[in-house]
């Protein structure tokens, strides 16, 4: 069962990497959006609580990845407008 979670996490991270490359690099550094900060917070919490329960850890990572993808898509739509 944990193998499935690892494969899903790798696929989602690959999608995030592709989206990040697709957006390109801007010339001036931008501050993190609130969604990106929450995504990082959930991933950090997953690392902290990783020893407690795998279900909690993977759920927090999933929430963090989902928020990161939403933030990337939101930024892509704002760039195109």
3-state secondary structure 23-74: HCCCCCCCCCCHHHHHHHHHHHHHHHCCCCCHHHHHHHHHHHHHHHHHHHHH
Does the pTM exceed 0.75?
Answer: no
Q: pLDDT (tens digit, 9 = 90+) per residue, 13-61?
A: 778 777 776 666 655 656 778 888 899 889 888 888 877 888 888 899 9
Domain count, the chain: 1
Residues of the domain holding 44: 2-80
């Amino acid at each position: 069962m944990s193998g499935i979670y690892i494969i899903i996490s790798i696929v989602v991270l690959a999608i995030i990497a592709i989206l990040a490359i697709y957006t390109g690099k801007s010339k001036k550094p931008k501050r993190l959006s609130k969604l990106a900060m929450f995504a990082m917070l959930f991933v950090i919490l997953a690392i902290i609580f990783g020893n407690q329960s795998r279900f909690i850890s993977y759920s927090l990572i999933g929430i963090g990845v989902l928020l990161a993808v939403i933030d990337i898509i939101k930024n892509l739509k704002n760039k195109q407008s």
